[in-house]
Amino acid sequence: MSRTVIVVLDGFGIGAMPDAGALRPGDTSADTCGHLLDHFRRVHDRALRLPALTALGLGAVHPDPDLATPDGSPPAATGTPPVTAGRAALGYPGADTYAGHQTMMGADFSTVTVARLGDHLDTVAAALRAAGHRVEPLEEEPVLLVDGSALVHDNLEADPGINWNVSARLADLPFPRVLEVARTVRRVAPVARVIAVGGNADRPLPDFVRAGEDGTVGLDTPASGFYRNGGLQVQHLGVTLDHTRQLPDLAARAGVPVTLTGKAADILACEGAARHPAVDTTEVLRHTLDAVRGAKDALVVANVQETDLAGHQQDPRRYGLVLEQADRQLGELTASLDAPGDCLIVTGDHGNDPTIGHAFHTREFVPVLVHRPGSAPRALPDAGSLADVGATAAHCLGLPPGRLASGVPLPLTPVG
């Protein structure tokens, strides 16, 4: 057993995967990390301050002068590196937070159904009416207006057809009723995720409906003010998965206390887990620190969401400042995990390049940075899937990785 922590920097990629241009040719140039570093040097005349990520080995997997180690070593020094670091392919189609986290926890998410809401309007409307809701199309758009308040629509922030949303202003509909509508949609939806979203918008939501890519139509959530006006509530309803073959459930059944913080608390299943579904980065990582301090055994999965939100807003300055805040607390977390056998894995779930020119996730490799006291550093091979991260965490906890539905542990050196 050990204290094992996975910190997911949401939307933090380190360069385009070979198939990144399949949907958008311009995404072959995606590099969230590199473009952030370039932006701060060029626009703000300074380097991003990332000492904790640098010490964990970010420069070993993304060589850049600003990621040189504290002793001045070049970021991609030859020979045995002083860190345990590598990178991971995503292991699922597209670039999606829900699929990324489910894959990371051991689910086999190699195939998902991609579908526009417009191709399933009749089925969804019939299910909602059968549940007692009033349903009408939103003018001539392939969007449904439910009970005069909630919109059922394509998600415009993920790759087209991956997710559908149910969105409403909280002033018009309390979040439990938004969630009720979303659960009805989930029962008939063929897509990976149905997302219930409640927030405070500047104007009625139909004012912010627009066309997306590949025939999708939906709410322009960033333009609506949901992300900047406070009070945002979100719940992710995913496809049916065997959660007993995922890392949190495996750990809980072995008697390991499980804590899920940030967006991980919304999208991961684990009966009995402590949940802290915060958005604020400081709060997310404070809950993470609290879960390991004084504990003998623990599994903590934390999601830093504000990096992803800055990517959607195409705001590299905000992204960089959030990353610096996360880095400061990662330094505290690394210092707290000081016992042999403890393990910290810092990774991402996809990219979200804030300079790419669109508000979608980008299909990038993500870093896998491992801090494990008592083990010798080593360069890690590329992980073929994020599932390998979950399998590695299981190995660190002394749990059988083979009980996960997918994933192979990365070859860490033994604890001495």
Geometric angle at alpha carbon 403, from 397 and 408, rounded to 5°: 75
Determine the Cα–Cα distance for residues 81 and 60; give it in Å rounded to an integer.
8
pLDDT digits (tens, 9 = 90+) for 180-222: 999 999 999 988 889 999 999 989 999 999 999 889 999 999 9
| The pLDDT value given to residue 110 | 66
| The pLDDT value given to residue 79 | 41
Reported CATH class of domain 3-111+240-403:
alpha beta
**Rounded alpha-carbon distances, angstroms, from residue 193 to 86, 91, 197, 262:** 29, 17, 12, 18
pLDDT digits (tens, 9 = 90+) for 358-391: 988 999 999 999 999 999 999 999 999 999 999 9
Q: Classify residue 193 as exposed, middle or buried by CB count within 10 Å of its CB (0-12, 13-18, 19+).
A: buried
pLDDT digits (tens, 9 = 90+) for 66-114: 897 655 554 444 344 578 999 999 998 888 898 899 999 999 876 677 8
- Structure token digits, residue 236: 């992710």
pLDDT digits (tens, 9 = 90+) for 24-38: 889 999 999 999 999
Strand segments, DSSP code E, in 156-279 are 163-169, 193-199, 209-211, 217-219, 233-238, 258-262, 274-276
Average pLDDT over residues 311-320: 97
Q: Residue 4 in contact with residue 371, Cβ under 8 Å? A: no
What's this model's pTM, rounded to 2 decimal places?
0.80
The rounded Cα 7 to chain-centroid distance in angstroms is: 10
| The pLDDT value given to residue 390 | 98
| CATH 3.40.720.10 segments of the chain | 3-111+240-403
Average pLDDT over residues 53-72: 85
387: nearest Cα among 373, 369, 368: 368
pLDDT at 267 over 80: yes
